[in-house]
Amino acid sequence: MTDELILEDGVVTPKNDFYLKLDAEASMPSVLSAFYKQDYSTIVDPETGVESTQIEGEPYFVSSTSNYAIDVVGTLSEPTGNTLTDDNDMEYPEIQALDGWHVNIRLVGDEVRAAVEALDTSHGVTPSAPQRIWL
């Protein structure tokens, strides 16, 4: 799923926009673990002078840095083709949720490229008409 753009002059531009489909929102911490950070503090035992590291708080999701931006799209939906009528006799399209939890990633540079390309291999999709895109 890692596509490259080949320009007219033969220059190859690596893919920078990735569309991922996870099983569920609950999958994010494990699938996107490279984008979760954990704070630590160093503690010095006053009696022995030995330093140790202590975890501070819970891991947290970092949605953007100077190297990437992540758009958590979530659940996507689409019309079923059926028309419903509300209590005021107004018609509206029936909408159904699509399977999966959707996440878009845009790379700026190559610092996390290997991690994102691995995600693209395991969870990447190629929508014909993405519902959310980068501007």
Domain chopping of the chain, boundaries: 4-35+63-123
Q: How confident is the model at residue 11 (pLDDT cuts 50, 70, 90)?
A: confident
pLDDT digits 0-9 by tens, 21-33: 999 999 999 999 9
Average pLDDT over residues 105-128: 95
The predicted pLDDT at position 60 comes to 96
The predicted pLDDT at position 59 comes to 93
Tell me the H-state helices in 1-135. 28-31, 113-123
Residue 2 has pLDDT above 70, yes or no: no
Q: What is the pTM of this model?
A: 0.79
Computed over every residue of the chain, the mean pLDDT equals 92
The closest of 100, 116, 126, 132 to 32, measured between CA atoms, is 116
Residue 72 has pLDDT above 60, yes or no: yes
Q: Residue 28 in contact with residue 22, Cβ under 8 Å?
A: yes
The predicted pLDDT at position 116 comes to 97
Place of tokens 């984008």: 35
Answer positive or negative: Cα dihedral of 125, 128, 130, 131.
Answer: negative
Residue 8 has pLDDT above 80, yes or no: no
Residue 5 has pLDDT above 60, yes or no: no
Question: HSE (CB half, 13 Å, CA atoms) of 41?
Answer: 5
